[in-house]
Chains A and B, each alone.
Chain A
């Protein structure tokens, strides 16, 4: 083998000029391939770690408590964070954020513009690496990022230089913003500019950043409540889907109930359960319940309430009478109470007759979410009918967990179906970037495809060069082939000499190509692009092209090229080896 390699290398040196030209072409191709792949990786890095991180997170948990309008709220932040903590390994997770943002009309100094206000949690401890990344992304050029956390300034905000220009504001100026809070009420607030960002990321140019606690207050969230959750993973491509699946399983809701006291003529302990209003649930309720008095149609109406016969007797309730219900909310010192009208008295097992009130979901969830009871603590004192009860499927749960979907299209279909169902309970969806940020990911796929096609065209040309060079080489060395075959060299060795010759040339050219690629990437990274209001700005990092070469990628590319070259060289080499010694020796040009 060493002997064959020596001959191959010697042959390479015999045709220096030709091989230098061919090698240069190969090195150029390798340089393009490595540079393009590094650029593509760089774009992926920007997409996954700098765009999606801020847009949707790698995994998201979204809530919607509204039917007429979207109300992204979860009433027990601590509980959801605990589920996340218990179901994602510490070494997989980089960060967990509340995704709270709002569209606003902003008025600066005589100029108005539409803006998006996004909350940043300044109280959270993040790793140095992540903090450095945040700083790079924000790129605050005037003022200070840390001023966002100041309490002595009214709603401190950071904004891009472009937005500051469109609002005609400078540092320390006041911006007035109009927005809708989480319930849809029109609100107004003042915000003070504490810093300006020089940001090349188009998605961040229209955003005003404020401290999370300030935006939550403006939006009407109470301290124990949270908005949609974004989870940032260390290895999103590997972990996003499986993390979402795991969370989805852990977020299965329990039964919804209110355990409290009912007051009519007398008072008694009671558990209130919601029944759902879809057609299937209504049918189940009709089939499962018999009324001692009242009409089932009234019970199944929007404000329908039915009470057990024994309980009705105990508190003196009858259809048309009003009852008052009070219970201890999880997050308030005072009891919450509400009044409702009884529409029917049901009969059933003694326990159910004595302890239960069934309420239409429209009515129930209004009181349930506005003063969330302590479900976990109250479980012992509540009476929940067994799971195998014929009507248990018609009863409401703490929330409705939507099915997992894989793509944006599936997620859109799911949303449309849910909108039609008019679910009154809060809906909860666990999603990944593949559903929420598929457009961004598609852009990455398109870039990769364009790179691949360009490189394949380039290599087709190079392959033609290799074939042509080999053919010339074989033709020129036909008599030499005859000689070495005549003195006893085997066909296989002749073939190997030519293949080794090509492989060696490709290898050296690849090494040169890699070195060239690094030089080119370094030079291209020095160019600063002043991209404003251009979508292509998302491909830049700090106004420069972002290349991210990887060792595995480079090795793969070199092996790929060598493989192509060897495969290309195989057929002409086999033809050379297959020549008879006598014919080869007779060959004359």
Chain B
């Protein structure tokens, strides 16, 4: 009898241990990544992009970024270089315009319009949830691809995801996220034929209103070696933004 009880206890203990020490599912991790970074307020921030291209040297692009998710709006006002100063990109709902200071004209543009001649595209500034765009990648056996490992000295989860919609830059991605707080530290982006296209390092985070915001990111172009872009975000404010900010006249008045 004792033996039977012992076996039953062992079974329960093993099951509980498996539960406790089991790797979380990729979808859980994706949701956690979303949750710790999800901003529920309006945002204003200064974005500095330092772009290094082979044979072209270093180009610095500064912009002010305003975002209001309640009506899917954002505004980007270029501050530097001088040639782009006053230019801007305004998105309100489904309408997306590019403003050119020199001609004082607004032009309807696509989501994949490059911002200020940089590698960043307008769609990179949209708020789209990771779980709406991607799902866990699976092995032939149908298992999720997830691993625990060390990134330098930091314990991380490494997992792979694939796009479930067509309108994303990269159909496949691999993430390294911290085990303790689920912050992404590294991201590899692959093309459909598994060519590594880019690596992103999320180097610094700050906490704003209880949410983590990446304030220093390094994007390395793996296709054209030597090209890289450092993105630094500063002056983050979560105060409510005025309605007039997301209007064409505001953008026009800035350059007067």
- Which residues of A approach B to under 8 Å, CB–CB? 66-70, 105, 107, 112, 176, 178, 180-181, 183-189, 220, 416, 419-420, 422
Question: Does B166 lie within 8 Å of A185, measured CB to CB?
Answer: yes
- B83 proximal to A (CB < 8 A): no
Question: In the assembled complex, which residues on chain B have CB atoms less than 8 Å from the CB atom of A181?
Answer: 192
If A184-B169, A416-B108 are given as contacts, then 7 extra A-B residue pairs at C-beta distance below 8 Å, sorted by A number, are A68-B96, A107-B224, A180-B112, A183-B167, A185-B191, A186-B170, A187-B193
- B11 proximal to A (CB < 8 A): no
Q: Is the interface of A mostly helix, strand, loop or mixed?
A: mixed
Question: Does B223 lie within 8 Å of A419, measured CB to CB?
Answer: no
A-B complex: 4 closest residue pairs judged by Cβ atoms: A188-B195, A183-B166, A69-B110, A68-B111
CB distance from B128 to the nearest CB of A (A): 12
- B94 proximal to A (CB < 8 A): yes
A180, B166: Cα distance in complex, Å: 12
Q: A178-B197, A416-B108 are in contact. Are A112 and B167 (CB under 8 A)?
A: no
Question: Does A68 lie within 8 Å of B223, measured CB to CB?
Answer: no
Question: In the assembled complex, which residues on chain B have CB atoms less than 8 Å from the CB atom of A66?
Answer: 110
In-complex Cβ contact of B110 among A68, A178, A189 (8 A): A68
- B171 proximal to A (CB < 8 A): yes
> What number of B residues sit within 8 Å (CB to CB) of A?
25
Q: In the complex, which residue of chain B has the Cβ closest to the Cβ of A183?
A: B166
Q: How many A-B residue pairs have CB under 8 A?
A: 64
CB distance from B226 to the nearest CB of A (A): 10
User: Can you offer 20 A-B residue contacts whose CB atoms are under 8 A?
Assistant: A67-B94, A68-B94, A68-B96, A68-B110, A68-B112, A105-B224, A112-B55, A178-B224, A183-B167, A184-B112, A184-B169, A185-B166, A185-B168, A185-B169, A186-B197, A188-B195, A189-B193, A220-B192, A419-B108, A422-B94
- B17 proximal to A (CB < 8 A): no
- Which residues of B approach A to under 8 Å, CB–CB? 54-55, 94-96, 108, 110-112, 123, 163, 166-171, 189, 191-193, 195, 197, 223-224
Q: Is the interface of B mostly helix, strand, loop or mixed?
A: loop
Question: Does B191 lie within 8 Å of A107, measured CB to CB?
Answer: no
Q: A67-B94, A68-B96, A68-B167 are in contact. Are A187 and B192 (CB under 8 A)?
A: yes
A239, B96: Cα distance in complex, Å: 39
Question: In the assembled complex, which residues on chain A have CB atoms less than 8 Å from the CB atom of B95?
Answer: 420, 422
Question: Does A186 lie within 8 Å of B169, measured CB to CB?
Answer: yes
CB distance from A552 to the nearest CB of B (A): 46
Question: In the assembled complex, which residues on chain B have CB atoms less than 8 Å from the CB atom of A416?
Answer: 108
Question: Does B195 lie within 8 Å of A185, measured CB to CB?
Answer: no
Q: In the complex, which residue of chain A has the Cβ closest to the Cβ of B222?
A: A188
A405, B64: Cα distance in complex, Å: 40
A187, B193: Cα distance in complex, Å: 8
Question: In the assembled complex, which residues on chain A have CB atoms less than 8 Å from the CB atom of B191?
Answer: 185-188
CB distance from A171 to the nearest CB of B (A): 23
CB distance from B33 to the nearest CB of A (A): 21
CB distance from A368 to the nearest CB of B (A): 15
Q: A176-B223, A186-B170 are in contact. Are A69 and B192 (CB under 8 A)?
A: no
Q: In the complex, which residue of chain B has the Cβ closest to the Cβ of A362?
A: B94
